Amino acid sequence: MWGLGVLIHLLGVGALRVSQDPGEVQVTAGDEVALGCQVLVAEPWDLLRLEWVKDTGHRVLCATRLRPAAPATPAHCVPRLRMAWHPPRATLSLRQARGDDAGGYFCRVTLEI
């Protein structure tokens, strides 16, 4: 069973809100699973870093940098994972789940200046 949580880096109160779904999911070996992350930014921004991190070792699984007026650049992900960005939502998809994939997955979002 995988648990999800949220890590948030804020520049100011209410500047950035991140939520994840589903809160918890059970997956059978070989299945595909999708985890969602909604990103709401209250103020204009130039650069947003979005990463999916696994709780074991806090290893970055996927990472990308986003600009508000530019198309999303392809995310750099470890094998079997892919990330899609459809503002304001990022989705992490895992193909062919295995036992060592169990754990907590966190969407980490940072406004960069």
> CA nearest 25: which of 109, 105, 107, 112?
105
Q: Map out the domains of the chain with their CATH numbers.
A: 16-111 (2.60.40.10)
- The dihedral of CA 58, 60, 61, 67: what is its sign? positive
Length of the chain in residues, anyone?
113
> CA nearest 88: which of 25, 27, 21?
21
Q: What is the pLDDT of residue 14?
A: 59
pTM of the model: 0.81
pLDDT tens for each residue of 24-68: 888 899 999 999 999 998 888 899 999 999 987 788 999 999 988
pLDDT tens for each residue of 79-96: 999 999 998 999 999 999
- The string over 42-51, giving b where at least 16 C-beta atoms fall within 10 Å of a residue's C-beta and e elsewhere, is eeebeebebb
